[in-house]
A and B are shown apart, each in its own frame.
Chain A
Amino acid sequence: MNKVINTLFNPKVRSRTISFLVVIAAYVILTLLSATGHLSRLFTSLLVPVTAYIVAAIGLNLNVGISGELNLGQAGFMSIGAFSAVVVSGVLQAAGVGDILRLIICMAAGALIAALMGWLISIPVLKLQGDYLAIVTLAFGQIIMSLLNNSYVGIDSKGLHFAFVNNTIQMEQGGRLLISGPMGATGVGIASTFTAGFVLVLIALAVVYNLMYSRSGRAIMASRDNRIAAESVGIKVSQAKTLAFVTASCLAGAAGALYALNYSSFAATKFDFNNSILLLVYVVLGGLGNMTGTVIATTLLVVLPEMLRFLQNYRMLIYAIVLIVIMLVSNNEFLRLRMQMLRTRLKKKGAEADE
């Protein structure tokens, strides 16, 4: 019995347990609310996007918090996953595959293709450091968006047709366009459900926690804390950073696929620079390297603008002010010291009570 309690309160296990408990509790509560009709339509429509953003933000936190590299292009990987999913979904729909299987295959395909792209992009990106690395991820995000904005994919009985910049696709009768340039993906068969999103969040958390507390995870964190020291004890820094970067883009790809199959149509500009920035905001507000924090911050910040709807036009203005104030308060030296004092005092009291 004691052993069980000890393992539960082991810091590594504890943070993991808390994360999973928070997510599972949220899922149960939200499912109950939605089943009994207590959830407004607006919130129901937010359930899947929230889970998609959570998964992408968890990936980004791995990149920014654990690996310590500022990535301003995470939304680009989401869009790779989303558009791959649209194409795969089109093929599967034509083959008459059922919804659940289609969603699973699409998410796997989105994750795989995004991971592959992430690996390719990581080769030049990880040669750089600091703000230069950040701007190159921004540049890749913009390039991905620009390329997808000019891509055309169609499907008919002969198979897939691709075109670039100009829509030159000639299709036979009954063919349809899956991706039509600046119009984005059209006619996507909706297959995403909240349960699927919930499972994906659990998978993402499991992947990230397993990585964090493994030998490779320690190598990643060591490379973040001191590159030279890590190298001198034989850690392959670029390998460690690549692992984090590719995992992050893989998660973003799966999230993109989930997001894509939740809407019948969306444009590539849905995943622009502002979206990458938003994901970064979720990560920073949730706490660098803190996955539970990311889950909570993402949920709150996606829901917040909707909660502020009663403010009408002042909504986004208030949102901006909230953002600034949170940053100012959470970085206030005076408040931080006060909190620290309070914490030590509480600890002391706890220790006394134990005796």
Chain B
Amino acid sequence: MAFLSYLISGLGLGSVYAIIALGYSMVYGIAKMLNFAHGDVIMVGAYVSFFAMTVAGVPFAVSVPAAVLVCTLLGMTVERLAYKPLRQASSLAVLITAIGVSYFLQNGAQLLWGSDTKIYPTILPGAVSLFGGQLSVSYLTIVTILTCILIMVCLMLFINKTRTGKAMRACSEDKGAATLMGINVNKIISITFAIGSGLAAIAAVLLCATYPSVYPTLGSMPGIRAFTAAVFGGIGSIPGAFLGGLLLGVIETFAKAYISTQLSDAIVFAVLIIVLLIKPTGLLGHKISEKV
């Protein structure tokens, strides 16, 4: 029974990672950049929903769309101001700029909202008891997992069925050819950043509901973890990010429960290395063939 309970809480944590990793992976797939500022968008989303609930006094259900809206706008603004001028630059230059944006957001948050840890209000207390009370699963975990599945399904439908989704797939395959086919590549990249940042806001709310503390560097660790998850599943692949996130969450929870809490970090990254050695482009990644 303990095993099942760890598995479920691992899936809950993994769902959060998966939602963040989806943003990472989509941006990588289309803009071919590692957006290290993605984790800090999560932090902004967390602060927005926190202040919406505590200062503005709106209910939780209203604070989520507010966070999504702010993060979407933030993501698009950052893309427009910092990344768009670097479309032709080397990937390292874009990487450094993303790091600059990450510092900017972290320090901006610290100035605006202080460096102290704020306690996020309790959302959805209580749990369902299963098997005659042997297994209890909190409502929050159920909601998190369901949200993740819902997002995944919607995203897959969007990518595969809509016109914009088709344009996105075209951009990720070949930007030059996509431009020639009349696709507005800049607009598609902007939409990708908007979706990724919106998802980051949802992840932020779910993360803070589970671990109720909000502080300026909140996003860096989940950011690195989600990046790992995205690579784990094959960066650029949407089902891969989903699978990678869930697996990473489960591995982390099991490592903490059965091996060692202090070493869970090392174990997660060791698993990543082993997976990449067996499948060099991640679990569901495309094999890149080299042209001579």
Tell whether A pairs with B: yes
Given contacts A132-B276, A146-B263, A317-B104, contact A331 B111 (CB under 8 A): no
Q: Quick one: closest B residue to A121, CB to CB?
A: B273
Given contacts A132-B231, A149-B262, contact A323 B100 (CB under 8 A): yes
Chain A interface bracket (under 10, 10 to 19, 20 to 34, 35 or more)? 35 or more
Report whether over half of chain B's contact residues are helix, strand or loop; otherwise say mixed: helix
Given contacts A132-B231, A328-B86, A332-B85, contact A139 B272 (CB under 8 A): yes
**What is the minimal beta-carbon distance from B88 to any residue of chain A, in angstroms?**
6
* Contact A150–B280 (Cβ < 8 Å): no
Interface: A321 (CB within 8 A):
yes
Report whether over half of chain A's contact residues are helix, strand or loop; otherwise say mixed: helix
- Seen from chain B, the residues whose Cβ lies within 8 Å of a Cβ on chain A are 28, 34, 36, 82, 85-86, 88-90, 92-93, 95-97, 99-101, 103-104, 106-108, 110-111, 224, 227-228, 231, 235, 260, 262-263, 265-266, 269-270, 272-273, 276-277, 280-282, 290, 292
Q: Quick one: closest B residue to A277, CB to CB?
A: B99
Chain A, residues 228-265, CB within 8 Å of chain B (1/0): the string is: 10000000000000000000000000000000000000
Given contacts A124-B273, A228-B290, A281-B96, contact A135 B266 (CB under 8 A): no
Q: Quick one: closest A residue to B281, CB to CB?
A: A132
CA A320 – CA B216 in complex, angstroms? Answer: 15
**What is the minimal beta-carbon distance from B141 to any residue of chain A, in angstroms?**
26
Q: Determine the chain A residues whose CB is within 8 A of the CB of B231 once the complex forms.
A: 131-132, 135
CA A314 – CA B111 in complex, angstroms? Answer: 8
- Seen from chain A, the residues whose Cβ lies within 8 Å of a Cβ on chain B are 64, 70, 124, 127-129, 131-132, 134-136, 138-140, 142-143, 146-147, 149-150, 165, 227-228, 273, 277, 280-281, 284-285, 288, 313-314, 316-317, 319-321, 323-324, 327-328, 330-333
* Contact B96–A327 (Cβ < 8 Å): yes
Given contacts A136-B276, A284-B93, contact A320 B100 (CB under 8 A): yes
Q: Which of A124, A280, A321, A327 contacts B104 (CB 8 A)?
A: A321
* Contact B103–A316 (Cβ < 8 Å): yes
* Contact B86–A327 (Cβ < 8 Å): yes
CA A127 – CA B281 in complex, angstroms? Answer: 11
Interface CB pairs A-B, < 8 A, 22: A127-B277, A128-B277, A131-B34, A132-B276, A135-B228, A140-B273, A142-B265, A146-B265, A146-B269, A147-B263, A227-B290, A228-B292, A277-B99, A281-B96, A314-B111, A316-B107, A317-B104, A320-B101, A321-B104, A323-B97, A328-B86, A331-B89
